[in-house]
Amino acid sequence: MRTFYSPHHIVHDPAALHEPDSPHSVVYYSEIARRGLIMHDAVQAAGLGDILPPDDFGLEPILEVHRHDMVAFLQTAHERMVAETGRTVALPETFSVGGRPRHKPVSLWGQMGLYCFDAGSPIFAGTWEAAYWSAQTALNAAAWVLTGQERLAYALCRPPGHHAAADLYGGFCYLNNTAVAGQWLVEAGQRVAILDLDYHHGNGTQEIFYGRGDVFTCSLHADPFHEYPFYWGFADEYGTGAGENHNFNFPLPLGTQEPAYMTTLAEALRRIRAFVPDSLIVAFGADTLTDDPVGGFKLTPASYGRMGAKIAALNLPTIIIQEGGYLLSQLGECVVSFLQGVEAG
């Protein structure tokens, strides 16, 4: 199995904002550079195959998914913040709520609140570079599988992406790596299924493909009545227009353990099989682990191996794209367990 990994991810590190005495720091700034290093070292130590840096597919695949104005904002937000205020971190203080406004503000502060939907996604000097190469990492994994080099590839993406919509970023996510890879595969003639296994609903991925019939999206996640992202991910969101019955959400109660999770996963896999996709993208998050600081399920490291084996039984060309997972002491073990399960299955 080939792993794609970009060392550029370390230039975006919210650990710099960690406040030891703040109860919010562990939640808002859990997505730190050490995560990527831990996962890389665990995959390497497990001997799962080559780990290579991604080639550059350019900006065009990103712009096929994300609006040009948001991408331009992400590219320039830090530079503008420094020039206008002297601050070195761009965080919104006002948010656009109650529907998208008719007019786009010129002010940097107004644009931050227009494109960002939470306070946990700071922009540093290296954020665009890290997000850009995270998307390239996903594209390389998709291309590797599409060209038939192997039927399985792992994109060790950081920062993650599944909360980023066409014109919104948030939830530690700036560009939607899963959607960028999925769209690229569609343009190559593939029917694509996306299975999101992060603890939190992939609202950005859902939004991007919600009206389309060429991509099938399925997500297992914490019930948004009680958990982030709160406003998306309910069981009655099935898609619209050409995308009707191409989106299925499986919200699960807090405290969900492996037996109930596996039963739900089997139903999601049944629906994916019925779609008859050419390829599968798995947006994998290890924040479903017991005691994850931003999670609330009760899976174990061994659970991930069993999950991986069930997914492998679909016998589809599969791209695994890394999303969440924040219990650093067990993160590497969980990722390796999942990858080994898919590979052995």
Question: What amino acid positions are annotated as catalytic residues?
Answer: 163
Peptide bond preceding 159: is omega within 30 degrees of 0, i.e. cis? yes
CA 5 to chain CA mean position, Å: 15
Helix residue ranges, H only, the chain: 25-28, 33-46, 60-63, 68-85, 108-115, 127-146, 177-187, 203-209, 258-275, 301-312, 328-344
Nearest partner of 338 among 145, 135, 133, 152, judged by Cα: 152
Q: CA-to-CA distance for 231 and 280, rounded, in angstroms? A: 26
The arrangement of strands across the sheet holding 2-5 comes to: 51-52, 2-5, 152-156, 318-322, 279-284, 192-196, 215-222, 247-252
Q: CA-to-CA distance for 36 and 286, rounded, in angstroms? A: 13
Neighbours of 275 (CB within 10 A): 16
Question: ∠306-310-311 over CA atoms, to 5°?
Answer: 115
- Across 296-333, b (16+ Cβ under 10 Å) vs e yields bbbbbbebbbbbbbbbbebebbbbbbbbbbbbbebbbb
| Contact of 282 with 244, CB cutoff 8 Å | no
Q: CA-to-CA distance for 119 and 130, rounded, in angstroms? A: 19
| Contact of 179 with 61, CB cutoff 8 Å | no
Count of all residues that appear for the chain in the document: 345
Q: Which residues contact 105 (CB under 8 A, 6 or more apart)?
A: 111, 114
